[in-house]
A and B are shown apart, each in its own frame.
Chain A
């Protein structure tokens, strides 16, 4: 089930909230666990046992780690079992075919690939769950003895499928003891509506343009249309992804949780370093906390720091999808992050306009790398972008999407939200929320294009 669907809004949500608000405090986590398991199993009932196993393995491993605090080897064994299990599941479902295909290509074999659908949100919940076991192992947090509470964390439906990546330490206290109050719910409803609007009204609308370009075929588009297309994709992925995160944060609030922010106007960044402090913040934080720093971070000399960065960005790329283009996409960022670290960021600081142009240009390049998984196709697309063939095809699409593009560009900056904050007329603001909600429902009823971008993740 995805948030941006009538099924979720008008079937799951009313039932889930009625149950959740009515049951006594003691049973709230149990109701959350059961509702979330239902949410998770809806699309792929066959994967229900996998989720149960994930909860059980991590629960038992953490108890083992706690119990054998004195026996180092045993403690380590429990830890490794949990990590191998989590990563193993992720690798099996997400990366098996990638390795088979590459092995086939390299050794001229013909091993058959597997017919697997990715369990919903596996990339996200794997990382979330690992944060728990790792933190218990490192002694940062105590093991959870109540399997219902831990289960509720692992499968919590708002953050299950597309982030933000909520660490166990972010919400462990709220899991045990949270007050649900109307002010927070009100805030959550508003946040959710904004997220819904981002996804349904902006991302879906502008994404149709990129799909159109793909359909025409990269070999047939003019240069202006190629640029228009990748601009549309860049806006789509931002509004899609941040829309999901915003909806998740809103739902979290309605349930009494405060999730970390995930996006902070990434497209106004003035360097790639800055961009990654604003884009999918919880993922970068996860890699910093659980990969970069354990590898030694920047404390072991320059050469080691660059190596660590390389590892982190290769992993970040690979996390986004089981394909070479995603690895190149990650390494593309590694190159520019390294260049900036080596001193280029000082230059960027001094040149305001240049820094924006530099970031936006690189991002358009990076999104091309991200959007096109076939490397030959990618080559064709770059050829089109830089061959400067002027056709007439872009005229129609520009006319059709101009208003949407302008709206999306403006909303990528803090301009409108800041103005909105300054307005002090309550009913006016609420009218805006109601309008966004009603329009979103209308677009969902006549959904000619409502993709789910994160099936790869």
Chain B
């Protein structure tokens, strides 16, 4: 036995390699299953159940594919291995990982090089249909929010063929206007404030600051007086790691700061349930901090202004939005008595019912450009 060990010690690579593969094999099987990766902000694959049927299934559904995914997702020290790769990539001078590009001042950008023309055309048509139906009853406005690379041009590496959001937005607006919809080109506004903290470095959303400038522009277009930020009490939450970080997992990421403001509110009802406050405060302590705004994405949210600050004219606005709207809508509480917020992805009611049962002084359709280019749920605006 001693002789054998002595022999093995003379062959260190065999020893190291053997210990590594056997060790990780055993450790992997003892290691508790992780349900969710905070770092990657996604659910991890668990051990698939074996059946003859799943063994013979095709492609992604096959047992062997699922099993391989499970081995990868539950690999010991997964996050540490990922961080090791990120460091090595840094040494190699790489400026991107997993479709996320590293720009100046620690800003990250997603590679968004082509649009889904069919989807974009359909979604434009859906919103037009909505305009044709309601633009003579109420004022319908639309706002497409460009992703950060457009306004923060000077932080983006040169030579990349990004989608020209400004030009594409102009085309879409041209169509919408034909259906009586007022369009809001916010690119000049964002560009004007590009030296301020208007977009997150590590996330695809705009910051509350960025949303505020768009809010001002909307108010002015509707002849309402925007609230000044100096009149509001703000709070900051540090260490926000957004979706771009979840994809790139860069070890040298500089986390973002999320800010939110206090508003006095009346009754808040989310999908039929009365809820406390505009923000899910516990979310600010978790990984997905942006999810705190409006308690995340919900089908129908009805916000009422508090007695102190409300205009008191019985005014009501409907905002049809994606997640970009979540940090935007609170500001509207200073200008409308009621703010109705619809996320078509989760909406259970029919739009036509909401429109016929309530009177809205304003309707605002607000989407991030990339969502508008990809969400099939926009069709529900015509239901």
Contacts and interface: CB of A to CB of B under 8 A. Distances in A.
Contact of A400 (B17, B67, B68, B94): B94
B88 A442 contact: yes
B355 interface: no
A14 B25 contact: yes
B72 A396 contact: no
Most buried by B among A46, A396, A397: A396
Interface stretch (A96-104, A148-156, A181-189): A181-189
Nearest to A21: B18
Given A400-B95, A403-B92, A446-B85, A392 B11 contact: no
B113 interface: yes
B74 to A, nearest CB: 10
Contact of A6 (B22, B71, B158): B71
Contacts of B68: 5-7
A46 B25 CA distance: 28
B159 A442 contact: no
A207 to B, nearest CB: 14
A120 B95 CA distance: 36
A45 interface: yes
Interface string A438-455: 110111111110000000
A215 interface: yes
Interface string B119-144: 00000000000000000000000000
Given A182-B8, A430-B13, A445 B157 contact: no
Most buried by A among B55, B81, B97: B81
Contacts of A42: 64
Contacts, number: 123
A436 B159 CA distance: 33
Interface SS of chain A: helix, strand, loop or mixed? helix
B334 interface: no
Nearest to B98: A448
B53 to A, nearest CB: 12
Contact of B249 (A394, A396, A446): A446
A7 B65 CA distance: 10
Contacts of A189: 13-14, 17
Contacts of A185: 11, 14
Given A45-B56, A433-B13, A445-B72, A396 B84 contact: no
B82 A442 contact: yes
A1 to B, nearest CB: 8
Given A402-B93, A443-B85, A446-B249, A6 B21 contact: no
A438 B11 CA distance: 18
Contacts of B75: 6, 10, 445
A45 B67 CA distance: 14
A393 B111 CA distance: 14
A353 interface: no
A327 interface: no
B175 interface: no
Contacts of A448: 97-99
A455 to B, nearest CB: 14
B78 interface: yes
A438 B55 CA distance: 32
A215 B112 CA distance: 12
A434 interface: yes
B92 A404 contact: yes
A395 interface: yes
A9 interface: yes
Contact of B161 (A9, A182, A393, A404): A393
B233 interface: no
B318 to A, nearest CB: 39
B92 A439 contact: no
A400 B157 CA distance: 10
A364 interface: no
Interface in B132-174: 157-161
Given A7-B68, A186-B13, A190-B13, A439 B88 contact: yes
A281 to B, nearest CB: 26
B86 to A, nearest CB: 8
B358 to A, nearest CB: 46
A399 interface: yes
A14 B8 CA distance: 17
B237 interface: no
A366 interface: no
Nearest to B13: A189
Most buried by B among A45, A400, A401, A430: A400
A445 B82 contact: yes
A114 interface: no
A186 B64 contact: no
A216 interface: yes
A15 B22 CA distance: 8
Given A186-B14, A445-B72, A393 B159 contact: yes
A437 B20 contact: yes
A190 to B, nearest CB: 6
B25 A445 contact: no
7 contacts: A10-B24, A11-B71, A190-B13, A442-B84, A442-B85, A445-B82, A446-B86
Given A18-B22, A446-B81, 9 more contacts: A7-B68, A7-B72, A182-B10, A185-B14, A186-B11, A220-B161, A399-B95, A430-B13, A445-B85
Interface of B: 7-8, 10-14, 16-18, 20-22, 24-25, 28, 55-56, 64, 67-68, 71-72, 75, 78, 81-82, 84-86, 88, 92-99, 113, 157-161, 249
Top 5 A-B pairs, shortest CB-CB distance: A445-B81, A396-B159, A442-B84, A186-B11, A392-B159
